[in-house]
Amino acid sequence: MSDGSTFSAHSFSAHAWGRNLPTYEAIRTMPFNDALAAGTLSPEQFRHYMIQDAHYLIAFGRALAIAAGKADDPDGLVQFAEAAKVAVVVERSLHADFFESFGVSGDEFARTPMSPVCHHYSSFLIATAHAEPYPVALAALLPCFWIYAEIGRDILGRAVRPNPYDAWIDTYAGEEFHEAVRAVIATTDRAAAAASPGELTRMHAAYRHATQLEWMFWDSAWRLADWPV
Amino acid sequence: MSDGSTFSAHSFSAHAWGRNLPTYEAIRTMPFNDALAAGTLSPEQFRHYMIQDAHYLIAFGRALAIAAGKADDPDGLVQFAEAAKVAVVVERSLHADFFESFGVSGDEFARTPMSPVCHHYSSFLIATAHAEPYPVALAALLPCFWIYAEIGRDILGRAVRPNPYDAWIDTYAGEEFHEAVRAVIATTDRAAAAASPGELTRMHAAYRHATQLEWMFWDSAWRLADWPV
Amino acid sequence: MSDGSTFSAHSFSAHAWGRNLPTYEAIRTMPFNDALAAGTLSPEQFRHYMIQDAHYLIAFGRALAIAAGKADDPDGLVQFAEAAKVAVVVERSLHADFFESFGVSGDEFARTPMSPVCHHYSSFLIATAHAEPYPVALAALLPCFWIYAEIGRDILGRAVRPNPYDAWIDTYAGEEFHEAVRAVIATTDRAAAAASPGELTRMHAAYRHATQLEWMFWDSAWRLADWPV
Amino acid sequence: MSDGSTFSAHSFSAHAWGRNLPTYEAIRTMPFNDALAAGTLSPEQFRHYMIQDAHYLIAFGRALAIAAGKADDPDGLVQFAEAAKVAVVVERSLHADFFESFGVSGDEFARTPMSPVCHHYSSFLIATAHAEPYPVALAALLPCFWIYAEIGRDILGRAVRPNPYDAWIDTYAGEEFHEAVRAVIATTDRAAAAASPGELTRMHAAYRHATQLEWMFWDSAWRLADWPV
């Protein structure tokens, strides 16, 4: 989607993608993603990533539900209520599939608190969904959808196969996910087209923060980061 | 469900149902529902009811989405995100089916604002979903589910058939709807079991207000009520 | 202020005041306000009004605090946090002064629930403060300030003196209150000037609903209204 | 206050303070605070700290206002609406006094975005104030009050005088601030005494996160930290 084909040149999404391209490129070329594509990522790093992602997805689902409750039309209410449900369904499949394959017990998950960056990103999405108008909430939620779709396809295109992380790679490169992502981009662009100049400024700030937090989330897994105190 | 078989004698739902039984009985025996069962309700009153119900269902869906975002576990998040979606789907079927059968044009719907009681009930649900903790939000949302299930079965048992309102009657008497209602009762009871004494008091107040508003909603349709100024 | 001198002809407040002038006129000429000015209002009606006003002011204070939390600049945060405090201070003076003069015991207040219209108006303000962006929240809060200032001055100009309700009349006609009201109008107009077209439409709807609810609140006291079930 | 004299041995605050004592000790002995007391902290680090603190105080004020709107009684509504106002007043005095003394122009402030930890802490407080019940919101807000009061007195007791940071030191060691802090502790303890077991667990989690973020905030100023991407 990064070729611009899914959005008009003057849309919010086109501007936001363009402005944050260096951060996207930094994510795409992170050691974590290189190692994932090469199949050389350590199971310990992948476990850290998965556990934090499971925590994150519940918070992402909550923020999506709050955004659904503020939707500017019934279609948006259905779209984001469904997305909230899907976030939890994906979290459950992490539990059922990856946690088992990579030896994370339910007990280990329950004992492992959110990492600082997971707590940061989760807090940011929930704060924005509650405190900000609908268009700004969508702008905060969009990078998680869009960057995963792009990274999924990018890794798919260069992954060494078979790869211990095949199942993960196939999830985010799949057409079903990409279709949902295109719909989120379209709704965000419609909301942006109806937003005030002040809201548009806050949409760009929210989008940028979420993009930075995506980089920080992967970086945190690579470093197996924990709370400093 | 009013025989108590679906809840334990000490549950929140058993207490709430018992305390509000006179209001439920007042709803069950309203002229609106007698006329609906007899098939003698005027199309004008049913149109008023349907248009307001369509407005209400969107607000109900918003409140359900906000409650989903505050759920105390991922199951509750899925349950109420799904319920939010279903509320809009039901609203759409009102539009597609009943509005057509009873001659409500899209234009008439768009021109007809919320009645005072619809605005009251909608505001109450949205205020409670945002401002109150999860158990109290559920207690406010429960009567709409439960009373419709009971009234649906009650009218089904005594309806003159064929009846101009057959399709409406079958919706709320159907097993699919009743299964969803039992699940909402169960989740509300679990939330009540974990609530503080102060929250339990506010749950009962919220449940009572929503039950009163159910009566007022039907009464408003019967009287074709509008804003006094 | 109704002569337009406190707002520019193109401001939100000028439009909103003009569009809702018939409702304002209906409030100004209500039997309740005529009887208050004449000093013939029954103590029973004034007690109903005061008790509901005490309930209302706490809810108004909550909605003001939520709006403060969403303010678009630190000045607005201070302005509405202060207004939230003042709402409770006024509620306390109702308790300390009027409740005593008119024989409302603390016990009677505690036993008297919100009337339907007080519950409706309170729910509407709290729902709007949480669910809507800052400009729309302000538009919902404005009529309570503005209409009281206007009605206070109107009644002051025609009140029979001495009047059993002198203390009440002096509160809302006082310059301190009017200065605060002008500041709320000014902030609402600044917020409107930065709002999107969709928000402006919702601002007008919120302003209209609050104005209608002002009429219904006084009418409810005149009728000593209670819940129908 | 850390000697326990301001709270009962069984209160939430006593437990929370005890459980997080190692983190408090880590804050008390940070290089930043040692250098501040010694008067050797670099102006550059103090500028970083002040600019981020100014950003933080506005967010802190917003979260206090939201908590005020959820207070379980009118006293709490007044207490936290006042605290929201004071947060902005303190932020303004930072601008008027420290920014001038230490050469931070209004332009430099406007150009400097929130640091990652300031954004994290602000998001956490705003998310908690909106999404969680009143007791949990208070538990998240308490450490900022309490730790500043303790650190202020600790630094006062060992500060080299005169000290370039005298004005800052006197602010947080002053009796007026300590009285406000004791009142916040007392309200939080009352809210905890009425909370459910689940809320109490979340109160402790919120208190711990806020305490960790206090450490991270000072550490960030010491390191002059910025966004990694």
pLDDT at D3 over 70: no
Dihedral sign from CA coordinates of C116, C121, C124, C130: negative
Q: Which two tokens stand for residue A123?
A: 């807090």
pLDDT at B3: 44
- B54 to A44, B30, B87, B91: CA distances (angstroms): 52, 21, 9, 5
Q: What percent of chain C has pLDDT over 70?
A: 96
Chains B & C: contacts with CB separation below 8 Å: 66
Token pair 């506010």 is found at: B202
Q: Which two tokens stand for residue D191?
A: 């809210």
| Three-state SS at A66 | helix
- D125 to A17, C73, C188, D66: CA distances (angstroms): 29, 18, 27, 10
Q: C228 and B209 in contact by Cβ < 8 A?
A: no
Average pLDDT over residues A125-148: 98
pLDDT at D95: 80
Using a CB–CB cutoff of 8 Å, tell me whether B189 touches chain D.
no
Q: Is the peptide bond before D164 cis (omega within 30 degrees of 0)?
A: no
Helices (H), D6-73: 12-19, 21-28, 31-38, 43-69
Whether residue B126 contacts residue C127, with contact meaning beta carbons closer than 8 Å, is answered with yes
pLDDT at C66 over 60: yes
Q: Which two tokens stand for residue C30?
A: 């209500």
Across chain D, mean pLDDT equals 94
* Nearest one of A170, A46, A54 to A102, comparing CA atoms: A46
pLDDT at A8: 63
Q: C63 and D69 in contact by Cβ < 8 A?
A: yes
Mind listing the pLDDT tens digit for each residue in C182-193? 999 999 999 999
Helices (H), C112-174: 116-131, 134-158, 166-173
Using a CB–CB cutoff of 8 Å, tell me whether C90 touches chain D.
no
Question: Per this entry, what is the length of chain C?
Answer: 229
Whether residue C181 contacts residue C83, with contact meaning beta carbons closer than 8 Å, is answered with no
**B71 Cα to chain A: minimum distance (Å):** 8
What are the structural domains of chain A? 30-222 (1.20.910.10)
Spatial separation of the C-alpha atoms in residues B75 and B86, rounded to whole Å:
16
Nearest CA in chain C to B120: C120
Q: Which two tokens stand for residue B94?
A: 């009102």
pLDDT at A2: 45
Question: Which range (B107-111, B123-127, C169-173) has the least confidence?
Answer: C169-173
Average pLDDT over residues D27-51: 97
B4 confidence band (pLDDT: 50, 70, 90)? very low
pLDDT at D171: 84
Q: What percent of chain D has pLDDT over 70?
A: 96
pLDDT at D97 over 90: no
pLDDT at A164: 94
- Hey, of D57, D75, D77, which one would you mutate to test binding to chain C, going by the most C CBs within 10 A of its CB? D77
Q: D92 and C69 in contact by Cβ < 8 A?
A: no
Spatial separation of the C-alpha atoms in residues D145 and D136, rounded to whole Å:
15
Question: Which range (A212-226, B109-123, C4-18, C23-37) has the least confidence?
Answer: C4-18
Mind listing the pLDDT tens digit for each residue in C146-168? 999 999 999 999 999 999 999 88
Across chain C, mean pLDDT equals 94
Using a CB–CB cutoff of 8 Å, tell me whether D54 touches chain C.
no
pLDDT at C140: 98
* Nearest one of A114, A93, A103 to A44, comparing CA atoms: A103
Q: Which one of A71, A82, A88 has the shortest CB-CB distance to B77?
A: A88
Other residues' Cβ atoms within 10 Å of the Cβ of residue B5: 6
Helix (H) or strand (E) holding B41: none
Mind listing the pLDDT tens digit for each residue in A32-46? 999 999 999 999 999
**A124 Cα to chain D: minimum distance (Å):** 5
Torsion of CA B46, B48, B49, B55, to 10 degrees: 140
Spatial separation of the C-alpha atoms in residues A51 and D51, rounded to whole Å:
35
Task: Choose between D90 and D201: higher pLDDT.
Answer: D201
pLDDT at C109: 92
Amino acid at B203: M
Using a CB–CB cutoff of 8 Å, tell me whether C224 touches chain B.
no
ipTM, 2 dp = 0.95
Whether residue A87 contacts residue A64, with contact meaning beta carbons closer than 8 Å, is answered with yes
| Three-state SS at D74 | helix
**D18 Cα to chain C: minimum distance (Å):** 31
pLDDT at C5: 45
- Hey, of D190, D196, D200, D202, which one would you mutate to test binding to chain B, going by the most B CBs within 10 A of its CB? D196
pLDDT at A1: 44
pLDDT at B172: 85
Q: Which one of B23, B131, B209 has the shortest CB-CB distance to C130?
A: B131
Nearest CA in chain A to C192: A196
Q: Which residues of B touch A81 (CB under 8 A)?
A: 61, 64-65, 68, 81-82, 84-85, 88
Q: A61 and B70 in contact by Cβ < 8 A?
A: no
Residue D193: CA count within 13 A, CB half-sphere: 12
Question: Which range (A12-16, B221-225, D55-59, D175-179) has the least confidence?
Answer: D175-179
pLDDT at D131 over 80: yes
pLDDT at D4: 41
Q: What's the N-to-C CA distance of chain A in angstroms?
A: 41
**C39 Cα to chain B: minimum distance (Å):** 26
pLDDT at C128 over 50: yes
Q: Residues with Cβ < 8 Å from A130, sequence gap 6 or more?
A: A66, D126, D127, D130, D131
Q: Which one of D116, D126, D219 has the shortest CB-CB distance to A127?
A: D126
Whether residue C53 contacts residue C168, with contact meaning beta carbons closer than 8 Å, is answered with no
Q: C58 and D69 in contact by Cβ < 8 A?
A: no
Using a CB–CB cutoff of 8 Å, tell me whether A26 touches chain D.
yes
